[in-house]
Structure 1
Amino acid sequence: MDMPAASASPAPSTTPGGNRRKVALAAAAASAVEWYDYFIFGIAAALVLGDEFFPSSSPVAGVLAAFATFAVGFLARPIGGVIAGHLGDKRGRKPMLVLALTTMGLATLAIGLLPSYGTIGLAAPVLLVVLRIVQGLAVGAQWGGAMLMATEYAPEGKRGLYGSLVQLGVPIGVVTANVAFLLAEGLTGGDAFTSWGWRIPFAVGVLVLGLAWYIHHRVEETPEFRAAERELAERERREKGAAGGDEAGEGAGERRSPLRAILGGHLGTVFLAGGSFAVNTATFYILITGVLDYTTRELDMERGSVLMVSLLVSLTQFALIPAAAAFSDRVGRLPVYAAGAVGLLVWAVPMFLLIDTTSLWLLAVGTFVTSCFLSIMYGPQAALFAELFTAEMRYTGASLGYQISAVVGGGLAPFLMVLLLEVSGTSMAVSGYIMVLAVIALGSIAVLARRARERARAVGGEGEGGGGGGEPRAEAAGGAR
């Protein structure tokens, strides 16, 4: 039966408020610096990596090669999520988060120092691909750890809001990455930026190592993971005592495999989670990388101006993401989540019609409205995914669902956008791609909502976390409302 256990909703934390806030802010900072390191690659792929690492007589071929390398990192993300999720469900959230931050910092610094094709030949693109894979592994491991550090420390009735602090790492990463490139281009400019100035943002990314040290030494493991550990240890002790011998120990070892539990009984929930979010990740990466390439290369818009629009639009998410998350604490996750998906479906065509005018103001309007719908989905998403799985398999399940959506949506989106534009000759093909993913998202959300209603009826109309007042429910967090 592909349904979470009755305890799927995280238990409210009894941790003192000051420590909660410290952990939540540390998790948000971890998310921000990790995404900064990840996003600067996407911006660099749209601006310079094609020429520096994939020289070709065709500019389109160079951009496709750079975006293919960008996509490779997404293919590695589920692997990072599975490995860190399995270990994070067994060993703790904090160690995996620290490892992910350290790995990302070192890989990002190495990209900034990597010689170009003109210096070391074919070794340059090969090493770039390898380092991008390492970045993908790191960010795949990071999201689940940061998200659970925040949501498992959250006070009663505020899990969506606390989870949104980690989600804010994405717009923070986008804003700081754009600022870093704007400053680098302003300080160097022209040929100097193309030659070496683009490397500056990668060097700054190594500051993530300092945050990894802080979390390792100053942040405690989540109380819910510690409680789950104690409960499991007590259960195994009782069963071993009742059965005697190694046989019970072996059975307990099997139960201690989060990945086996997910693959054996909850894989459908993982795919529904991934299907519900793919439209968000695809549209997001189309905005921050695909549109940047399209407007500067195809529409001949000024690079600095387009970067500034992207920066200003991203700033709006700082208010919208926590607002949507807080609203989901009151009315349920799925109604808010579905509203964002409907918005992306309806706005996909108008967005590109506005972009195609080549007006900076209309570009800003088109991307701003899209960003609003992305924020409406992104705010409650961390709490929603956490509530789909029990504590002993939550890191694995939530990470795998999220990273599947990243591969299907985000990783391929900029590459497919360039390909669709070349084949069709119209941006409406990209709008169609977004609309297909939005329909898939709404179908996945509908199934999750149906499961939530069935589960509510099975327990007499009450969700596992208590329905009223926005407390999370198991299997879709209030989506049956």
Structure 2
Amino acid sequence: MTIGLGGGVALEFYDWQLYGFMAAFLSPHFFPATDPVVSLLAGLAVFGAGFAARPIGAAILGPIADRISHKTVMMVAVSAMALSSLVIALLPSYKDLGITATIVLVTLRLIQGLAVGAEAGVANAIAIELAPPGQEGRYLGLINGTFIMVGSIGASLVAFLVSAAVSPEVMKDWAWRIPFGVGGVLGLLIIYLRQTLPETLIARAMHDADEGSRIQDTTGGVWRALWKARLSLLAAILVVGSVQLANYTYNFGLPNIANGVFKENSTHVYGIVTLMGSIWMIFSPAIGAFADKIRPSRAFVMMRLLLIPSFFLPLLYVEKNIVIYSSIMLVGGTLVGCNMALYNFIATTLMPRTVRTTGVALGYAAGATIFGGTTPFLLLWLQRSNLSWMFPLYGTTVALLSIAVYVIAKKRGGVYVGD
């Protein structure tokens, strides 16, 4: 059961994040330009556009999951991700199809955005229903920390292996397609495993008399219930957004700058990303268990304050130097990993059961879209404009806001699990 749920989460993040890893290689094939930085910026803009679809997916599929079926929405999401990844692997480039190739790529990214927008909410709703009482942090740390990183590491590891196996010219020409094909094929296995999961909506919440747990009769009822929890929703958006800002800095912004701007050895770049992700994966359940022990709210504030230095470290990477790049990734990345282990759990605790899927999905989608999806583009643009110093101030402000709004929501009764 855990493998089916967590494996789907891993696949979602493998497929989603793979585009970010491959942006420096696929951009010239779909966004040709004389300046490679301009081409990369165009590719990263599409990466950000996929995030724009996340809130739409959450708004459409979240209420369906809260009212009708968690499992059905979960199956739709993972199927859409896998099929889109497979099509990207086979999609002819701009020189073969012209602007049609670009349009199809953008469409596929939007479909993946719709799917991820729903997946985040429904997977967390199911996970917290299945978690042993008093161990919610550890269990969600496993699902959302370890398995997310299995997907992320899988993406960087496959990129690393393919890059190491072929010449740089072959990697730029066509080998970047291989990791997308791997994700599509693995999706078939995950679809099969997810069919064995229970329908937690009916088993755990149907006919519950408590207003915060009752299944809503209409979609309008879902939105009215969510409006009552609007402060918690705002807190969830900032909780997610702050850590996603850091996550996409370290998983995509810095690696793409290393590959596309400073022309570092891509095998080394992906190897460091893989090592960083392995550290996250190993200690995520321990961070969740730590939160169970000292209370999630205390753990969240502590880890979020530790996140702030990670926004300043990228200022040190101003020229080609794999040692500096590696040091930043491992030191700053560890601070980010501490927060990655907790943020989905904290966001889930902020939502009452009656709108948990919709609330978490919207909070995740909005936070990731507003703050995460724009990060790689913003980081590269600021560096190109000699304004890199602005980025850590921006990241610090969002981190502190996430703490402040969370504390206010908690004092007003807006935390529903674990505290």
Q: Please give the alpha-carbon distance, in whole angstroms, between the structure 2 residues aligned to 1:182 and 1:448.
A: 38
Give per-residue Cα distances to partners, 1:153-206, cap 9 Å, x unaligned.
111110011111221232212211112122222333233222221111111111
Q: Please give the alpha-carbon distance, in whole angstroms, between the structure 2 residues aligned to 1:258 and 1:209.
A: 32
Q: Please give the alpha-carbon distance, in whole angstroms, between the structure 1 residues aligned to 2:297 and 2:308.
A: 16
Distance 1:341-1:311 versus aligned 2 partners, 3 A rule = same
Answering whether residue 406 of structure 2 is matched by residue 448 of structure 1, we say yes
TM-score normalised by structure 1 residue count: 0.81
Q: Please give the alpha-carbon distance, in whole angstroms, between the structure 2 residues aligned to 1:210 and 1:308.
A: 26
Q: Please give the alpha-carbon distance, in whole angstroms, between the structure 1 residues aligned to 2:271 and 2:112.
A: 26
Q: Is the 8 A contact 1:144 1:395 kept in 2?
A: yes
Q: Please give the alpha-carbon distance, in whole angstroms, between the structure 2 residues aligned to 1:301 and 1:73.
A: 27
RMSD between aligned alpha carbons? 2.4
Answering whether residue 187 of structure 2 is matched by residue 213 of structure 1, we say no
- 1:442 deviates by 2.2
Gaps of 5+ in 2: none
Q: Is the 8 A contact 2:239 2:346 kept in 1?
A: no
Distance 1:477-1:370 versus aligned 2 partners, 3 A rule = farther
Distance 1:381-1:367 versus aligned 2 partners, 3 A rule = same
Answering whether residue 118 of structure 2 is matched by residue 128 of structure 1, we say no
Q: Is the 8 A contact 2:246 2:310 kept in 1?
A: no
Gaps of 5+ in 1: 1-22, 238-251, 456-472
Answering whether residue 394 of structure 2 is matched by residue 436 of structure 1, we say yes
Aligned residues: 415
Give per-residue Cα distances to partners, 1:273-305, cap 9 Å, x unaligned.
111221211121121221112123333322211
Distance 1:434-1:226 versus aligned 2 partners, 3 A rule = farther
- 1:229 deviates by 1.4
Give per-residue Cα distances to partners, 1:113-141, cap 9 Å, x unaligned.
11000111111111110001011111111
Percent of paired sites with the same residue: 27
Q: Is the 8 A contact 2:16 2:112 kept in 1?
A: yes
Q: Is the 8 A contact 2:40 2:260 kept in 1?
A: no
Q: Please give the alpha-carbon distance, in whole angstroms, between the structure 2 residues aligned to 1:30 and 1:433.
A: 33
Give the aligned partner of residue 183 of structure 1. 161
Give the aligned partner of residue 124 of structure 2. 147
Give the aligned partner of residue 39 of structure 1. 17
Q: Please give the alpha-carbon distance, in whole angstroms, between the structure 2 residues aligned to 1:30 and 1:115.
A: 28
- 1:101 deviates by 0.6
DSSP-derived class of the 1:152 partner = helix
- 1:258 deviates by 1.5
Answering whether residue 107 of structure 2 is matched by residue 100 of structure 1, we say no
- 1:60 deviates by 1.6
Alignment counterpart, residue 301 of structure 2, candidates 324, 338, 356? 338
Alignment counterpart, residue 242 of structure 2, candidates 279, 283, 303? 279
Distance 1:396-1:265 versus aligned 2 partners, 3 A rule = same
The answer to which of 125-134 and 82-91 deviates more is 82-91
Answering whether residue 40 of structure 2 is matched by residue 76 of structure 1, we say no
- 1:403 deviates by 1.0
Answering whether residue 180 of structure 2 is matched by residue 199 of structure 1, we say no
- 1:234 deviates by 12
Answering whether residue 152 of structure 2 is matched by residue 174 of structure 1, we say yes
DSSP-derived class of the 2:385 partner = helix
Q: Please give the alpha-carbon distance, in whole angstroms, between the structure 2 residues aligned to 1:301 and 1:48.
A: 13
Query: What amino acid is aligned across from residue 79 of structure 2 in structure 1?
Result: T
Q: Please give the alpha-carbon distance, in whole angstroms, between the structure 2 residues aligned to 1:55 and 1:451.
A: 47
Q: Is the 8 A contact 1:336 1:376 kept in 2?
A: no
